Amino acid sequence: MEHVAARAGVSRALVSIVFRGVAGASEATRERVLAAARELDYRPDTRASRLGSSRTRTLGVTFSVGHAFHGDLLESLYTHADAAAYELVLSGVTPSRSEAAAVETLLAERCEGIILLGSSQETAQLERLAARLPVVSVLRPVPGGEVGVVRTDDAAGLRLSVEHLRGLGHRRIAFLDGGRTAGAAERRRGYRTAMRRSPPLTEMVLPGGVSELEGAEAARAFLGIGPRERPTAVAAFNDRCAIGFVDVVRQAGLHVPGDVSVVGFDDITEAGYPHVALTTVRQDAERLGAEVVRTLADRLDSGSPDQNIGTTPAAPVVIEPELVVRASTAPATRRGARS
Amino acid sequence: MEHVAARAGVSRALVSIVFRGVAGASEATRERVLAAARELDYRPDTRASRLGSSRTRTLGVTFSVGHAFHGDLLESLYTHADAAAYELVLSGVTPSRSEAAAVETLLAERCEGIILLGSSQETAQLERLAARLPVVSVLRPVPGGEVGVVRTDDAAGLRLSVEHLRGLGHRRIAFLDGGRTAGAAERRRGYRTAMRRSPPLTEMVLPGGVSELEGAEAARAFLGIGPRERPTAVAAFNDRCAIGFVDVVRQAGLHVPGDVSVVGFDDITEAGYPHVALTTVRQDAERLGAEVVRTLADRLDSGSPDQNIGTTPAAPVVIEPELVVRASTAPATRRGARS
DNA sequence: GTCACGAACTAGAGCGCTCTAGTCATCATC
DNA sequence: GATGATGACTAGAGCGCTCTAGTTCGTGAC
């Protein structure tokens, strides 16, 4: 910085002004400084600038590495954080690196707010964290109102699934459960509600899970059911689970959607591939990301300067999902499952 | 820090000593400081500590968000960086956030070294970057020797594929190409070499790609070939491509491995799921990560203090892949494709 | 008793920025 | 021509650490 200042013939303070993009430098000087910086291949040290300023304008994000939908969310977060003049610092969660450890590094970075994608921490822990700084839990609802929440209306999503299948004439509709994953309880609840509407249908919850593997296992349980009692349709916890289910069911000689209709959840990229063509409930990653940044930025930018603690989070933001009908669902046949 | 020092009745310098874990504090004081810190919920500010010290002990990583194999690599990198007392800072690449932009933020963080997972930048750009600081390209070979490289022996991997299929009696073996992706050229070369060994077989390269989508498209091209000329085995650029291929081929009524054997590449988690059971060439994410950290740490820790420029990278580290035989390959039948 | 020595601890100058409180022209205003 | 305003710029005190160059004190050797 010193060198750039010298080369441009100005003070260090002026260089700072130019790089922060604030008012206080003439157009001519601004260009001279930028030119000098370019020649010296200089770029401001983010560590130092964050240290110097009262605000770090930094948002920490924990995410599961390799998780497809988290990838989609990150993309949206990057875009909107950038637009709101915030920087993102990522902290990955892996089987050997816990979410708590990931959060710890974010705190040490002095992030102003923390974004947790699909958090698996206990509510009490989240509340303790939220007492220190603004926290928003994405995808996973957190009761109590201390922790900000941005999520899809999971229950409504499953209602869409079930109503769609009902409308196609299905009466035996199973749900492939998601266990303790973020959002699973709500989806299960949505399934139950929809099944109890008139005319009420017999509920059937099969243990499922988050990945293709668990979908495949659920399919084996499904195939173990006698053809006459077998559900003619299945709503899965998510797309990957649905895809694993379809794979195994097809390998067993059944047809999808001829013998069994399947609906997923998320609308991951793969679900839209022509050879997969999964009917699913779309979560809008783009909007989720936008809302996360908006709620956090609102809290941070409005709060009394350097005193974010005390600003309460806005009410949970719940985004309505949308049914995307593709080729994995079809009208129920009279005789139920064939073969 | 001030507060912790006051509470423990020592100087700020002593607190620093304790938190850095260096010698110079008695056991009793150490505990007193730690206790005070715990009570005040204090943790050192990483920005400030990096600023203060000559070394940042920070490694920057660019990766594709949502890319399964990058996720596996990140996990390994986290583990080994931690063991070598380095910190990782992640910078995600998305369709709307270029690799160059990702690198830019890493430079601004003053990372000591940069790790590029599956870089898609041009060699010239990589070399320019490598002139500033140690860079290692993972998965993607870079000629010239200026940029460190840690990768799997892609060519050998495809030779393993082809030899395996040859051994099963296959003679018409196609390759689903990976286009311009990292490693694709080497795999294509490995395929060619293996096909030209005695007895030489007729090469057949079908356009493939990196995802299931492209594998599915390749399958359609494959199905368009007359049953008599159709390859009886396929080596795919990667697992996802192989999986898409298998899906479509099965939907068309062919059997895998009965009618066509398929070999993937990577050994992503999904390939090992029982209902997928893909024969594949395993890339060892754990070892790749370990080697990346080792080579970087070697350069950084040995170099003349605060003068990394000039230390040349070690020779490329090439890790031998391993064939994992599962259920997607079987001996060739006399008549080639059935159905 | 004196001295050297090492262990335990401290003072204080950075690190590369930000940002408040200035200085100094220049220009319109009455 | 004195008076502010305004715009362009600078000095210098932080930010929260690290780290060198001390100081202090207890211990053992002689």
Show Cβ contacts of residue B82 under 8 Å, excluding neighbours closer than 6 positions: none
pLDDT in tens, B66-79: 788 899 999 999 99
What does the pLDDT average to over A230-248?
96
A308 pLDDT above the threshold of 50: no
B180 pLDDT above the threshold of 80: yes
**Strand C proximal to A12 Cβ, under 7 A:** yes
Q: Please name the member of B48, B79, B216 whose beta carbon is closest to the beta carbon of A275.
A: B216
pLDDT in tens, A84-115: 999 999 999 999 999 999 999 999 999 999 99
Q: What is the pLDDT of residue A305?
A: 43
Inform me whether the C-beta atom of residue B316 falls under 8 Å from chain A C-beta atoms: no
Protein-proximal positions, strand C, CB < 7 A: 7-12, 14-20
Confidence of residue B307 (pLDDT cuts 50, 70, 90): very low
Of B301, B249, B316, B317, the closest CA to residue B59 belongs to B301
- Residues of chain A found within 8 Å of residue B75, distances taken between Cβ atoms: 65, 92, 94-97
Mutate: best of B1, B59, B61, B65, partner A, most A CBs <10 A: B65
**Interface A:B, Cβ pairs < 8 A:** 141
Show Cβ contacts of residue A220 under 8 Å, excluding neighbours closer than 6 positions: A248
Residue in A with minimal Cα distance to B43 = A108
Shortest-distance nucleotide from B17 CA to C1' = D18
Q: What is the pLDDT of residue B54?
A: 85
**Strand C proximal to A163 Cβ, under 7 A:** no
CA pair distance A243, A39, nearest whole angstrom? 54
Q: How far does B126 lie from chain A, in Å, by closest CA?
A: 16
Helical packing angle, A212-224 and A239-251, nearest 10°: 50
Handedness of CA A153, A155, A157, A160 (dihedral sign): negative
Q: Are A75 and B89 in contact (CB < 8 Å)?
A: no
CA pair distance B301, B307, nearest whole angstrom? 11
Q: Please name the member of A68, A92, A213 whose beta carbon is closest to the beta carbon of B90.
A: A92
A336 pLDDT above the threshold of 80: no
pLDDT in tens, A16-75: 999 998 888 889 999 999 999 999 999 999 999 999 998 999 999 999 987 888 999 999
At residue B84, φ and ψ (nearest 5 deg) are -90, 10
Dihedral angle computed from the Cα positions of residues A261, A265, A271 and A276, in that order, rounded to the nearest 10 degrees? -20
Between B159 and B334, residue with greater pLDDT? B159
Q: Please name the member of A41, A110, A212 whose beta carbon is closest to the beta carbon of B270.
A: A212
CA of B13 to C1' of D21 (A): 13
CA of B10 to C1' of D24 (A): 14
Q: What is the pLDDT of residue B258?
A: 95
At residue B93, φ and ψ (nearest 5 deg) are -105, 125
Q: What is the pLDDT of residue A181?
A: 87
Look over chain A and give the mean of its residue pLDDT values, rounded to a whole number: 92
pLDDT in tens, B76-93: 999 999 999 999 999 999
CA pair distance B252, B267, nearest whole angstrom? 25
Burial B142-161 (b: 16+ CB within 10 A, else e): beeebbbbbbbbbbbbbbbb
Residue in A with minimal Cα distance to B213 = A273
Look over chain B and give the mean of its residue pLDDT values, rounded to a whole number: 92
Q: Are B216 and A274 in contact (CB < 8 Å)?
A: yes
Q: How far is CA B173 from CA A113, A314, B189, in A?
A: 54, 60, 14
Domains of chain B by start residue, with CATH: 2-44 (no CATH), 55-152+285-319 (3.40.50.2300), 154-283 (3.40.50.2300)
Give residue for tokens 């999986």. Answer: B243
- For residue B91, give both structure tokens: 């910078």
- For residue B184, give both structure tokens: 């694709």
CA of A20 to C1' of D7 (A): 18
- Least confident residue range of A18-27, A324-333, B197-206, B245-254: A18-27
- Residues of chain A found within 8 Å of residue B41, distances taken between Cβ atoms: 132
Confidence of residue A302 (pLDDT cuts 50, 70, 90): confident
CA pair distance B263, B243, nearest whole angstrom? 10
- Residues of chain B found within 8 Å of residue A78, distances taken between Cβ atoms: 92, 94, 96-97
Confidence of residue A2 (pLDDT cuts 50, 70, 90): confident
A306 pLDDT above the threshold of 50: no
Confidence of residue A337 (pLDDT cuts 50, 70, 90): very low
- Residues of chain B found within 8 Å of residue A41, distances taken between Cβ atoms: 132
CB count in 10 Å sphere of residue A276? 26
Inform me whether the C-beta atom of residue A216 falls under 8 Å from chain B C-beta atoms: yes
pLDDT in tens, B120-155: 999 999 999 999 999 999 999 999 889 999 999 999
Inform me whether the C-beta atom of residue A65 falls under 8 Å from chain B C-beta atoms: yes
A71, B66 Cβ separation under 8 angstroms: yes
Show Cβ contacts of residue B34 under 8 Å, excluding neighbours closer than 6 positions: B18
pLDDT in tens, A165-176: 999 999 999 999
Confidence of residue B339 (pLDDT cuts 50, 70, 90): very low
- For residue B10, give both structure tokens: 């020592």
What does the pLDDT average to over B206-232?
95
B181 pLDDT above the threshold of 80: yes
Looking at chain A, the whole-number percentage of residues with pLDDT higher than 70 is: 96
Max CA-CA distance within chain B?
Answer: 86
Interface of A with B in 39-58 (CB under 8 A): 41, 43-48, 50-51, 56
What does the pLDDT average to over B308-334?
86
CB count in 10 Å sphere of residue B225? 15
Of B173, B227, B229, the closest CA to residue B201 belongs to B173
The distance in angstroms from the start CA to the end CA of chain A is 75
- For residue A135, give both structure tokens: 């926290």
Between A191 and A145, residue with greater pLDDT? A191
Q: What is the pLDDT of residue B96?
A: 93
CA pair distance B25, B328, nearest whole angstrom? 61
Q: Where are the alpha helices (DSSP H) in B46-98?
A: 46-52, 68-83
Give residue for tokens 């024969």. Answer: B279
Shortest-distance nucleotide from B14 CA to C1' = C9
- DSSP line for B143-197: TTSSSEEEEE-HHHHHHHHHHHHHHTT---EEEE--TTSTTHHHHHHHHHHHHHS
pLDDT in tens, A118-143: 999 999 999 999 999 999 999 999 99
Q: What is the pLDDT of residue B334?
A: 64
B206 pLDDT above the threshold of 90: yes
Show Cβ contacts of residue B258 under 8 Å, excluding neighbours closer than 6 positions: B330, B333, B338
Q: What is the pLDDT of residue A66?
A: 79
